Amino acid sequence: MKKEIHKIGIAGAGTMGSGIATVAALAGLEVLLYDIRGEALDHAASSVTKNLEGAVKRGKISEEDKDRAFHRISFSGDFSKLTGDLIIEAVLEKFELKKELFQKLAAQNSSDCILSSNTSSIPITRIAAVTPHPERVVGMHFFNPPHIMKLVEVISAPQTDPEVARQVKALAERMGKRAVNVKDAPGFIVNRVARPYYLEALKLLEEGVANVEEIDRLMSASGFRMGPFRLMDLIGIDSNHYTSSSMYESFYHEARFRPSRIQEQMVEAGKHGRKSGEGFYKYG
């Protein structure tokens, strides 16, 4: 499989989707950002504008670059428009949801359309296995916030055509990212290494060893750019919890990956972090 990538579709207009749309448009790609929720699309348009304005203020792009990039993005709630040379899935970390989405995408796109997932923990092998033409399925895992963070993991399942992985890596580099090739494994590289950062902090909180502010302050003083609780609020407590749960299942309930009850309760209470206005901290 070898084709030029000019037009991409992004399924999911949340924090990750809008961030990916920003960097793709700045790289000169035509972008369709899809979400079933109208309010999510409105919020995504505001987020993209904010991302681009931030880049102007930092001297990264000009006003003209900002305007051109924004006009390369279209926002739609019409699933039939979700076509292109490459589709990036950025929906919730739930396999059944991704399975249904990939099968629908396969049905309305050509067999050489690359289907990629921004999943942070669900095996690409499992997604490819339920998708027609599995050789074009690949992982393209961005990090939050995508318009700032440089790393992209390009994950190949056993079914993935090596040329597809090569094209996706080249595309990520075109977006100004540092792309690394990764073999399919639960949590890939970064989330497998990072999971103890979150889970051990949550265990300390559960055991009353220290409070949220103290743990964050200590970790920041130790050299981390952000404490674990502020980072969970930024990523989304719900997304972080779903990733932990997925990895726990994938590692056959290995104790070190066991999700936190505190985090589960916060998800159920709707305290999802910055995006909901409250998580471990409150936001105005």
* The pairing of beta strand 114-117 with beta strand 86-89: parallel
* The pairing of beta strand 178-183 with beta strand 151-156: parallel
Choose the catalytic residue: 89, 93, 135, 153. 153
Greatest extent of the chain over all pairs of C-alpha atoms, in Å? 55
Reply yes or no on whether 121 is catalytic.
no
Q: What does the alpha-carbon distance between residue 110 and residue 102 come to, in Å, rounded to a whole number?
A: 13
Choose the catalytic residue: 120, 121, 240, 245. 120
Choose the catalytic residue: 191, 239, 246, 260. 191
Choose the catalytic residue: 89, 141, 239, 246. 141
Quick check: helix, strand or coil at residue 64? helix
Reply yes or no on whether 181 is catalytic.
no
Reply yes or no on whether 43 is catalytic.
no
Q: What tokens appear for 4 in the block?
A: 């030029």
The identity of residue 5, as a single letter, is I
Buried b (16+ CB within 10 A) or exposed e, 201-216: bbebbeeeeeebeebb
| Strand partners of residue 7 | 30
281: Cα separation from own chain's centroid: 22
Any alpha helices (H) in the chain, and if so which ranges? 15-26, 38-57, 63-71, 95-108, 124-129, 162-174, 190-206, 212-221, 228-235, 237-250, 261-268
Catalytic residue set = 120, 141, 153, 191
